[in-house]
Amino acid sequence: MEFSLSAEQRELKEAAAAFARAELNRDLAEREEAGEFPAEAWQACARFGIQGLPVPAELGGGGSDIVTTALVMEALGYGCRDNGLIFSLNAQMWSIELPLVRFGTAAQQQAYLPGLVSGQLIGVHAMTEPDSGSDAFSMRTRAERQGDDYVLNGTKLYITNAPVADVVLVFASHPGRPRPAGVSAFLVDKGTPGFAVSRNLEKMGLRTSPMGEVVLADCLVPAAKRLGPEGAGMAIFHSSMGWERSCILASALGAMQRQLDACVAYARVRKQFGQAIGKFQSVAGKVADMYLRLEAARLLVYQAAWLAQQGGPAVSQAAAAKLFTSEAWVQSSLDAIQIHGAYGYMKEAGIERDLRDAVAGTIYSGTSEIQRVILSRMLGL
């Protein structure tokens, strides 16, 4: 087994971390408090090439393989303390860019990918509804064919990037057809009659990543905007989720490394009872546990990304990586606060932000409970 990185991968990872530290943390406390989307940082990421990482070079992207992409996102998580920005980047890359790469026509790819890669367009997909979350294919949003168009009606909820999105990949079911085979996906542009984002949702964490409710009321979408064949929605969604679960928490590895480094540095200089607190076993044990979680999570994420890169099935590995890393990030965030004591609990320290952001990782892209269901079924239960 080969665990070393190429010289090119190491250089790119270091460059991404340096870029993130220099460009992506400005006014973070104020932006986070206001729930403000960092448009300038988004454009900076596009100039660096983040949005284009997984897009083939012939389609205007960086053409990076999935392992290299995960490494860059890990570096971004280390250098950038704005987890909301990184979450929005992940949402666009995995939920609309890659579906366009795999299932889009040449015309669709040309219409959307250059803008998504350059930062001129922002996109995401819309699957979740008020009554369908983990049970995604029980959706009520309908698509009815009318000549050369489809008429979409329904509501999508908790949609990342919706308030700022230029294009949304909407999943809808065809009345009278069995699901999930009766589900299709449609590229719906902002400004399309019948398409509206009704509200901007306030969140506990990831506050710089906007989230909204999408309403479709007799929304007329040309058949040319359907992504993939009619009824291909399940294949598109699962393809997206396979990549997403393998990579979306790569940035959490960087955040956990950043937490670990900060805790080690603090435990060396903070003194109580005449010695550095790192000399107390209760504190040293927490630091050791943070290291163990990080290294285990890193191996799981790297393995899932590598298997996906080989083109082989990685369902259980992606589920394990997503489940373990998301829960490890929450626990390490709690430990980081505890090690820093009262200071860690203060907003000015910026440590509690990671905890609020980390909790969402156990919910998005399939809850921890769903990942356990996937794993148990893969084991024959």
Burial of 201 per CB tally in 10 Å (0-12, 13-18, 19+):
middle
Q: Nearest to residue 166, comparing CAs of 61, 254, 219, 96?
A: 96
Distance spanning both ends of the chain, measured CA to CA: 30
- Catalytic residue selected from 244, 295, 348, 352: 244
Spatial distance between the Cα atoms of 61 and 53, rounded to a whole number of angstroms: 6
Name the token pair of 107.
């015309």
Cα–Cα distance between 246 and 304 in angstroms, integer? 5
At how many degrees (to 10) do helices 250-269 and 66-79 cross?
40
Q: Give the closest residue to 110 by CA, choosing from 55, 48, 161, 65.
A: 55
The yes-or-no answer on residue 213 being catalytic is no
Contacts of 140-145 with C-beta under 8 Å, sequence gap 24+, read 140/173, 141/170, 141/171, 141/172, 141/173, 141/216, 142/172, 142/173, 142/174, 142/175, 143/172, 143/173, 143/174, 143/184, 143/186, 143/221, 144/174, 144/175, 145/174, 145/223
Farthest-apart Cα atoms in the chain, separation: 80
Q: Cα(35)–Cα(2) distance, rounded to whole angstroms?
A: 42
Torsions phi, psi of 266, nearest 5?
Answer: -70, -40
Tell me the catalytic residues. Answer: 244
